[in-house]
């Protein structure tokens, strides 16, 4: 696909613009909005089109679904409520929701907001369902969480848990007496002047917005449905622009003050959100309160990504350098573009480079212990051996944005290589550079595979 780029203003960012458009072509991404915050100055630009069927030029003001970056907004709202004395991160969630029911009663009695915000609750994370568009959407989906299986012990390991943010959003509703969206707007969006950030489709449809695309055989096709279920708003429902995300970055790098200089969060709360809480899996070092933390050379990156139906978002901050990158795309391969541009931006703007991972010289027989199927709610991960490489085949199962959503297209398999003990790196597009890690049980056998933040148990079959 040949991308028709937008025109970047001559502000010294022309090399970034060229790199973005080159990678749009490489990954077949129809549209991108990108923004940079550096030395107190912002730069934003759009490239390509909003929709391959009904194309409009992408501009810096084009709205995109930012997916799970929303989780950090939910956490920011929670921290405001912590400072107001309405939420205690260490208190059992049942203090706020006495009738909470989960499959494991002991977990239901002990789970805290900190567990939710660090993805350590341990139950099935990728659960999505349609509970309607009313103000009771969160209440209803939290009730359905009683059926979710417990995958790992409470607090034992980081495994990305979307469903935990249903509960976090519901707690916000209960302590404020407002629908989640109203509370998030009052507590975070309005004070930060994020005036082009919305939760509801009816707010977006009167503005220019990007439509998601699934890339099939190198050709982007419009993805349906466009909207996510309302229940998912606390974990991935925000629609925003790169300019608003850079305002948000400035807040989280300026110790919690608003554009008018008012203090919204204490510097201590900002610090706690960016402080390691639990160990991550490579390439993450740790997870803070929702933020993903990784050291690249001499600098600490604070980041989060987001994915919805055919839209992928990248958001990276380097607070010690006052630098942030926001990149919004309208294709399911946009995350690969975001990873490429993150590495590029860190090297070209800050002079720091991610270390290269050197594949180990491993005999095929040493790979046999990893072969098998690893089960995940949205897509199983099948591993086999071919030509001396581990081959990863993702098998989509559907289930997003609603439980009855059919599976998307099956992508070609990609090669993986060991680069450290029980650690692998993908070698082929669109997953090139993505890393995974295997977990072993007490007897030394491989029992799970951690990829894309998710812990996938090994199938017994």
Segment 166-188, tens digit of pLDDT = 999 999 999 999 999 999 999 99
Q: Could you tell me what percent of the chain has a pLDDT over 70?
A: 97
CB 210 within 8 A of CB 51: yes
Q: Strand pairing of 213-216 and 286-287?
A: unpaired
Three-state DSSP state, 378: coil
Question: Mean pLDDT throughout 240-252?
Answer: 98
Q: How far apart are CA 91 and CA 3, in angstroms?
A: 51
Convert the pLDDT of each residue in 283-335 to its tens digit: 889 999 999 999 999 999 999 999 999 999 999 999 999 999 999 999 999 99
What pLDDT does residue 8 have? 41
Q: How buried is residue 374: exposed, middle or buried, by Cβ count under 10 Å (0-12/13-18/19+)?
A: buried
Three-state DSSP state, 326: strand
Q: How far apart are CA 125 and CA 137, in angstroms?
A: 18
Question: By C-alpha distance, which of 225, 155, 190 is closest to 73?
Answer: 190
The torsion region of residue 177 among left (phi > 0), alpha (psi -120 to 50) and beta comes to left
Q: In 10 A of CB 303, how many CB atoms? A: 20
Question: By C-alpha distance, which of 214, 209, 168 is closest to 73?
Answer: 168
User: Among the ranges 102-116, 251-265, 348-362, 392-406, which has the highest mean pLDDT value?
Assistant: 102-116
Q: Strand pairing of 64-65 and 379-386?
A: unpaired
Which residues make beta-bridge pairs with 37? 42, 324
Cis-peptide, bond into residue 401, ω within 30° of zero: yes
* Model confidence band, residue 454 (pLDDT cutoffs 50, 70, 90): confident
Question: By C-alpha distance, which of 203, 460, 442, 431 is closest to 337?
Answer: 431
Q: Could you tell me what percent of the chain has a pLDDT over 90?
A: 83
User: What are the C-alpha distances in Å from 209 to residues 49, 57, 249?
Assistant: 10, 10, 22
Q: How far apart are CA 29 and CA 311, in angstroms?
A: 10
Q: How far apart are CA 188 and CA 298, in angstroms?
A: 31
Give CA 81 to chain center in angstroms: 23
* Model confidence band, residue 6 (pLDDT cutoffs 50, 70, 90): very low
* DSSP letter assigned to residue 357: P
| Average pLDDT taken over every residue of the chain | 93
Question: By C-alpha distance, which of 281, 416, 443, 413 is closest to 362?
Answer: 416
Q: How far apart are CA 320 and CA 306, in angstroms?
A: 24
What pLDDT does residue 2 have? 34
Q: How far apart are CA 394 and CA 392, in angstroms?
A: 6
What pLDDT does residue 12 have? 63
204-213, 229-238, 406-415, range with the lowest pLDDT: 406-415
Which are the contacts of 297, defined by CB distance < 8 A and separation ≥ 6?
Answer: 352, 353, 354
Residue 1 has pLDDT above 50, yes or no: no
Q: In 10 A of CB 178, how many CB atoms? A: 16
Q: How far apart are CA 251 and CA 262, in angstroms?
A: 11
What pLDDT does residue 406 have? 85
Convert the pLDDT of each residue in 353-409 to its tens digit: 988 889 999 988 899 999 999 988 888 999 999 988 999 999 988 877 777 788 888
Question: By C-alpha distance, which of 370, 375, 376, 363 is closest to 422?
Answer: 370
Question: Mean pLDDT throughout 20-39?
Answer: 96
- Residue ranges of alpha helices (H) inside 84-136 are 105-110, 113-117
CB 340 within 8 A of CB 20: no
Q: How far apart are CA 387 and CA 245, in angstroms?
A: 44
* DSSP letter assigned to residue 175: H
What amino acid positions are annotated as catalytic residues? Answer: 68
Question: Mean pLDDT throughout 26-39?
Answer: 96
Question: Mean pLDDT throughout 132-153?
Answer: 96
Question: By C-alpha distance, which of 321, 287, 322 is closest to 303?
Answer: 287
For residue 425 the two structure tokens come to: 């790196």
Q: How far apart are CA 154 and CA 149, in angstroms?
A: 12
What pLDDT does residue 419 have? 92
Question: Mean pLDDT throughout 66-78?
Answer: 98
Q: How far apart are CA 266 and CA 83, in angstroms?
A: 8
């Amino acid at each position: 696909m040949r991308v028709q780029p937008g025109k970047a203003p001559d502000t010294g960012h022309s090399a970034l613009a060229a790199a973005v458009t080159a990678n749009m072509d490489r990954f077949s991404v129809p549209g991108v909005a990108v923004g940079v915050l550096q030395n107190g100055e912002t730069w934003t630009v759009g490239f390509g089109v909003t929709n391959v069927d009904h194309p409009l030029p992408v501009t810096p003001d084009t709205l995109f679904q930012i997916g799970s970056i929303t989780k950090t907004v939910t956490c920011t709202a929670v921290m405001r409520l912590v400072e107001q004395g309405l939420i205690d991160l260490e208190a059992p969630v049942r203090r706020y929701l006495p009738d909470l029911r989960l499959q494991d009663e002991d977990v239901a009695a002990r789970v805290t907001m900190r567990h939710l915000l660090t993805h350590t609750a341990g139950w099935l994370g990728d659960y999505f369902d349609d509970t309607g568009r009313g103000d009771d959407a969160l209440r209803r989906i939290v009730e359905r969480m009683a059926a979710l299986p417990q995958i790992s012990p409470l607090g034992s390991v980081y495994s990305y848990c979307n469903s935990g943010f249903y509960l976090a959003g519901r707690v916000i509703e209960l302590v404020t007496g407002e629908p989640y969206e109203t509370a998030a707007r009052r507590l975070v969006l309005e004070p930060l002047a994020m005036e082009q950030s919305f939760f509801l489709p009816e707010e977006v449809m009167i503005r220019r917005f990007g439509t998601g695309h699934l890339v099939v055989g190198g050709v982007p096709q419009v993805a349906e449905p466009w909207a996510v279920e309302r229940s998912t708003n606390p974990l991935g429902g925000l629609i925003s622009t790169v300019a608003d995300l850079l305002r948000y970055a400035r807040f989280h790098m300026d110790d919690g003050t608003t554009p008018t200089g008012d203090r919204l969060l204490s510097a201590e709360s900002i610090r706690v959100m960016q402080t390691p809480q639990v160990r991550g899996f490579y390439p993450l070092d740790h997870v803070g309160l929702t933020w993903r933390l990784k050291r690249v050379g001499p600098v600490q990156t604070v980041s989060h990504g987001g994915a919805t139906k055919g839209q992928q978002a990248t958001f990276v901050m380097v607070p010690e350098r006052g630098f942030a990158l926001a990149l919004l795309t309208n294709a399911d391969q946009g995350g690969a573009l975001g990873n490429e541009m993150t590495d590029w931006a860190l090297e070209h703007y800050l002079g720091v480079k991610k270390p290269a991972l050197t594949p180990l010289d491993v005999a095929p027989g040493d790979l046999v212990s990893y072969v098998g199927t690893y089960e995940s709610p949205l897509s199983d991960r099948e591993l086999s051996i071919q030509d001396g490489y581990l081959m990863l085949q993702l098998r989509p199962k559907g289930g997003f944005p609603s439980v009855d959503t059919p599976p998307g297209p099956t992508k070609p398999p990609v090669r993986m290589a060991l680069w450290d003990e029980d650690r692998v790196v993908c070698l082929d597009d669109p997953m090139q550079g993505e890393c995974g890690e295997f977990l072993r049980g007490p007897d030394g056998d491989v029992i799970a595979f951690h990829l894309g933040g998710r812990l996938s148990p090994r199938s017994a079959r």
